[in-house]
Structure 1
Amino acid sequence: MISEKYKDLYISTSKDQLKKLTNFLLSLERSPENQNLIENIFRLIHSMKGAAATMGYKKTVLLFHAMESVIDAAFQQRIFMDKRKLDLFFGTIEILNDNLKSIKGSNREINLSKQIDFVKASLRQGTRAKNIVTKNVYHPEKHILGSIPTVAEISVPVENLSTLHNLSDDLLLDVMSIKSVVKSLGDVRLLSLAVDADKIINDIRRELEKIRIVPLSQVFSSLPYLVREIARDEGKEVELLIEDNDLSLDKSILDELIEILIQLLKNAVAHGVYQGQKNAKIEVFVAVDNDQMNVAVKDNGRGIDWQQIMNMAVKNKIISRAVAKKLTVSDIKNLIFKAGISRGKSVSISSGRGVGLSLVKSKVEDLGGEILVESQAGKGAEFKVRFPLPLSVFRALTFKIADYTLAIPLNYIDNIIKLPEVIDFSKAKFFVNNKIRYELTQLPKEMCLPKLAALSKYIAIIKYKNKKLALPIFSNINERELIAKNTPQVIRKLNYIKGIAISDEGLPVLILNINNFVK
């Protein structure tokens, strides 16, 4: 049966098309007389109606047909797409998404007759369009031809990509082990084959990485609609500005990032922007710096009254009055991330339970990051999030301490200096080489390393932000290609360890978090 055979493809494609329709409607809300935009909406709805007809989803076809009739009337200038009709279309999109969930789970459509009647009624009660001067002429056949896609796209679940990625990791690890064995045997022909296999696997990995990489603009396209709906529920009007620096990131990172952003945006609309505020604005900024993801959400709303936050913490029994008197400025700012701090008398979809920011903080800490807030009453608020990006296959400097093998990614290494003789740096603060003085840094005390006056053989010059630091190393060093693996929860709590990797011998390696231990 065709509907069963191509169901997954239909669902994934329809989800993308409904997101696109949402963006078109958001644009139409800002420019309701844009005829080209109305025509594009018609094309998209007509295409979705054709796909539903091909799959045999008759109820869905009838709903799209009703929507198509409304947009057709708007294009013909018989009606005007006012706020009421746009709200109806946004609600219809939500129902169509629910319908896709039902089709995916049971291959059955939900009852759409009531929504079909609502859409038809909006056509009968339509507001007449304003006079629009345009040279466009409506041709139904043009829409049918224009709806045929020129490039075929297939949506692949992230889970499937992750499985392929893990399998390629295992395969690469096996090839790395084979190369190591072949080198020891000295067989040139086998070594050549191993190198060729290594190249092919790396090519496969690069192609997989391309598939997993998604432009931020594509994922963030749903955020304006989210802010619009929350603002509408709160009786507010808010403009959302997004600066994504044209970044593209791995889907797994985006899943984490979008959860954080949604909570921060809900908080900004519900608690930052106030009712009746003119020119209310929320800005989202995303950038990558030194393998760190930087996210900022800033609003120009009422700002945060820190004295009120402290009073609320006492009122909601998060802290006692005695403790409140001893709090520092930093302590008071941390109160805003406590569950229940902003618990309100009324609970809405977007706010009232007082757990949003505590969830954000928990999520950020799980990613090994931190969240900060800056605000003054009457001057808006800015939440800044910073967390490390995960590594994949990378080259690193490795060395041993006690029973552990540690690694520093090569992008942090500026130079390696082999000392003419072993030196004790345990009491030194600086290292001088070629008349350049470097500040010495040591591995964190939290690592519980053996207490001994180690005689160092090497100095690693580490690049950190705008300065260079010297790290003494008292064991032999190697440069290796490592494969990063999923980091266990217990390791994530160690802020000086970024993650775990596997060497070509199949041994675990701890990746040092340079951003934390050289601060």
Structure 2
Amino acid sequence: MDMNQYLDVFVEESKEHLQAINDHMLRLENEPNEKSIVNEIFRSAHTLKGMSATMGYEDLANLTHKMENVLDAVRQDQISVTPNIIDVLFDSIDHLEAMVESIIEGGDGKRDVSHTVQTLDLIENGESVSDQVRADSGDNGIQLDEFQKSVIQESMEQGFHPYSVTIALDPNCILKAARVYMVFEVIEQVGEVIHSTPSVNELEEEKFDLDFTVTLLSKLQSDELIARIKKVSEVNKVVARPLNIETINEGKVEAAATVEEQSNISTNTETKDNEKGTSSKQTVNNKTIRVNIQRLDQLMNLFEELVIDRGRLETIASELKHPGLVDTVEHMTRLSSDLQDTLLTMRMVPIDQVFNRFPRMIRSLAKDLGKKVNLIVLGGETELDRTVIDEIGDPLVHLLRNSVDHGIELPEKREANQKVCEGKITLAAYHSGNHVYIEIEDDGGGIDREKILQKAVDNKIVDASTAADMDDHDVYQLLFASGFSTAEIVSDISGRGVGLDVVKSKIESLGGKITVTSILGQGSKFSIQLPLTMSILSVMLVTAGEETYALPLSNIVESVILTKEEIMKAHQQQVIDFRGKVVPLVSLQNVLHIPGERLADEYVSVVVVKKGDKMAALKVDSFIGQQEIVLKPLGDYLSNVFAISGATILGNGQVALILDCNDLIR
């Protein structure tokens, strides 16, 4: 039975169960005696175990089964939840997530989890976790039977050297069994194979990843033995380690290699497995594939050109009024709109892919710093372009670390300030207009304005006279100056004193902005504004003077036509009454210094736009209508032009500028 048809469902449901386990584990740490939480974790682990076993991912199923045993023991009151048990369960979750990620990337989900499994067994049996750590700190053993041990002892007396040889095949190797056969042929020419891991039968059936270990006897030195084996094509790496003679009689043969050498082999092999799945699992890619983002960009660029030509065709069809041409253009418009939705959906992903890793990070940081922190995550379903998703993670990590380290106070200090001992950090994302906002707010000690100014003056970032006249917004922006830090002790928690300049640079490189608000003693808020980076926009085309402009529909509240009597003045500013609110009226022709004669008409065309809770009314000469256009950037040289976010090519071949309503309102 081909299980690949269920791969998409397995991956999605596995992610959901792992996220549920993560969330409930964080709750269990705070409420270790709450059996209902343990039951929820047990149910998710049990479901994940069954799914993994059905799909043939044995490592994943086995580890989940061990977790299930520990959780069941907790449910039966055989063991109690302790911080050590919580840490081991979190380690298990990390392994499970890595296995699922391997499956997503086309691998087979295999991973060395023997240490974690042994620790879970100890916990289940009521033994101390620290005993397992000490037991595992030695060399990794190779189990041999009595006959094999006697063969090694007799051969050593005849001048043979016992080795444990690990061979790693090239990730692109297709016929692995044939390659193993060739390796064994070379070994048998210079020695004798005693034992192999996996077994010979498993190797012949290709039931292994890219590496295998052979215990052998040879009169060659290790360097010469390695050189012989490496002559076999598609052998990527060979590591030969002499076996310790003293431990052969103790029932366990140990390689005289350092722990670091063994770790390197495991890490290298695991990296190769992640880069490309084994040949026996290549069909996993039938349903899920990884596409280079540059190919998606190229596809989007081609579609943008198609949209421009579609606009020109619509203009030509409306001028010629040929029925057949009009029908064909309308049909092409519908098809291209569906294609556009598909392309944009391919690029848009929920931001919770980034947010989901933060609760664990905050838990670890708070534990290291001796603080109590509750992280609240809101708006994880908000979608962003995947290029932004890939880049926004590091700035958010830095800001969250900053909030835990500098923002949230120690429990005793919070209690002294009449606060609850547990600090709160809120991470929220939401759409507003054509932008996505991400906010990180804490209820910590806030930002000391005077301390920032003093530090800035001491570092000669500003002079004393300028500092005295700065408002709060300008003061908080000093936090983003290069090398600025108020940390008294440099640590690796929040950037080692590097400051927030790197965060600001990264966000600005994505076309975004970052602002800070704070109340001393009550907390701080960092607000990040990011563009959706949707290169195809729905806009309203308007004219002002001799120019045509595009206003994004996402910013428009309403378009209205007013009489001149409905325009009023307040504080030397023209305003209008819009649904009971006084809204300032801004003339595009005046603000943008557009040439052309001001029309003295009895009626005035107005577009009401918004940014958050703020609104403004833009006075234009006429409305052209709604249209989908392609956003073209103006380039680095014109990147800071006031109120202009880009340009587009219209159906008649003319260039129209796209207005940034945020600048106009501000």
Aligned 8 A contact 2:551 2:659 in 1:
yes
1:41-63, Cα deviation, whole Å (9 max, x unpaired): 33433444455556655544433
1:272–1:308 distance in 2 versus 1, CA, 3 Å: same
Residues in 2 aligned to 1:412 and 1:457: alpha-carbon distance in whole angstroms: 26
Matches within 5 A, 1:341-352: 341-342=484-485, 344=487, 348-352=491-495
Specify the code of the residue in structure 2 equivalent to 1:306.
R
Do the aligned partners of 2:606 and 2:619 also contact (CA within 8 Å) in 1?
yes
Residues 1:297 and 2:440 are matched in the alignment: yes
Query: How many Å apart are 1:305 and its aligned residue?
Result: 1.8
Contact 1:418 1:457 in 2 (8 A): no
Matches within 5 A, 1:328-339: 328-330=470-472, 331-339=474-482
Does the aligned pair in 2 maintain the 1:339–1:354 contact within 8 Å? no
2:72 match: 72
**Which residue is equivalent to 2:375?**
240
Equivalent position of 2:93 in the other structure:
93
Q: After the TM superposition, which of the residue ranges 3-12 and 493-502 deviates more from structure 2?
A: 3-12
* Match 2:627 to one of 478, 481, 492: 481
- State the SS of the aligned residue for 1:230: helix
**2:562 paired with 1:396:** no
**How far apart in 2 are the matches of 1:221 and 1:32?**
22
The structural deviation recorded for 1:304 is 1.7
Structure 2: distance between partners of 1:431 and 1:454: 22
Output the CA distance in 2 between the equivalents of 1:493 and 1:5.
Answer: 50
* Percent of pairs with identical residues: 27
Q: Deviations over 1:67-101 (max 9, x none)?
A: 22212322333223333222222223234444556
Higher mean Cα deviation, 79-88 or 499-508? Answer: 499-508
C-alpha change, 1:234 and 1:437, in structure 2 (3 Å) is closer
Q: How far off is 1:512 after superposition? A: 0.6
| Count of paired positions | 475
Q: Which amino acid aligns with 1:441?
A: S
2:452 is the alignment partner of 1:309: yes
Question: What SS is found at the alignment partner of 1:342?
Answer: coil
Q: Which of residues 602, 608, 623 is equivalent to 1:463?
A: 608
The answer to whether the Cα contact below 8 Å between 2:29 and 2:83 also exists between their aligned partners in 1 is: yes
Is residue 2:650 matched to residue 1:498?
A: no
Q: Name stretches of at least 5 consecutive residues in structure 2 with no aligned partner.
A: 129-286, 415-420, 565-571
Alpha carbons of 1:16 and 1:251: their partners in 2 closer, same or farther (altered >3 Å)?
farther
1:163-178 correspondence runs (5 A): 169-178=304-313
Aligned to 1:141: none
Determine the C-alpha separation between the residues in 1 that align with 2:352 and 2:72: 29
Q: 1:273 to 1:183 in 2, by over 3 A?
A: same
Q: What does 1:421-432 correspond to in 2, within 5 Å?
A: 430=574
1:304 match: secondary structure:
coil
Counterpart of 2:528 in structure 1 is: 385
Query: What is the TM-score when the length of structure 2 is the normalising length?
Result: 0.59
Task: State the Cα deviation string for residues 462-507 of structure 1 (Å, max 9, x = none).
Answer: 314465535354xx86325133336355254334222334433565
Aligned CA distance change for structure 1 residues 69 and 247 (closer, same or farther; 3 Å): closer
Q: Structure 1: how far apart are the matches of 2:524 and 2:394?
A: 19
Structure 1 residues 282 and 323, CA, compared in 2 at 3 Å: closer, same or farther? same
Amino acid at match of 1:238: V
CA RMSD of aligned residues (A): 4.4
Describe how 1:438-457 pairs up with structure 2 within 5 A: 439-442=585-588, 454-456=597-599
Give deviations 1:95-148, integer Å, cap 9, x for gaps.
444455667487684432222222222223379xxxxxxxxxxxxxxxxxxxxx
Instruction: Specify the alignment match of 1:132 in structure 2.
Output: none
* Aligned counterpart, 1:123: 124
Partner of 1:414: 559
CA drift of 1:516 comes to: 0.4
Q: Distance in 2 between matches of 1:275 and 1:432?
A: 51
Deviations 1:299-345 (A, max 9, x none): 22122222222343455x46376677666244432211123322757
Closer/same/farther in 2, CA of residues 9 and 506 from structure 1, 3 Å limit: farther
- SS of the residue aligned with 2:500? helix
Give runs of aligned pairs for residues 250-289 of structure 1, distance below 5 A: 250-252=384-386, 260-276=395-411, 277=414, 278-289=421-432
Paired letter, 2:656: V
Q: 1:288 to 1:12 in 2, by over 3 A?
A: closer
**1:249 corresponds to:** 383
Runs (5+) with no aligned partner, structure 1: 128-153, 420-427
For 1:425, the equivalent position in structure 2 comes to none
* 1:511 to partner: Cα distance: 0.7
Counterpart of 2:461, as a letter, is I
207, 230, 235: which one pairs with 2:365?
Answer: 230
TM-score, structure 1 as length reference: 0.74
Q: Once structures 1 and 2 are overlaid, which stretch shifts more, 334-343 or 202-211?
A: 202-211
Provide closer, same or farther for how the CA distance between residues 105 and 210 of structure 1 changes in structure 2, counting only shifts above 3 A: closer
Distance in 2, Cα, partners of 1:4 & 1:323: 69
Secondary structure of 1:198 counterpart = helix
The residue that corresponds to 2:137 in the other structure is none
- Is residue 2:659 matched to residue 1:512? yes
CA distance in 2, matches of 1:479, 1:216: 34
Superposed CA offset, 1:249-285 (max 9, x none) = 3444656665554433221111101222413112344
**Alignment correspondent of 2:18:** 18
Cα distance in 2 between the residues matched to 1:381 and 1:432:
36
State the one-letter code of the partner of 2:405.
A
Q: Comparing 509-518 with 7-16, which one deviates more in the overlay?
A: 7-16
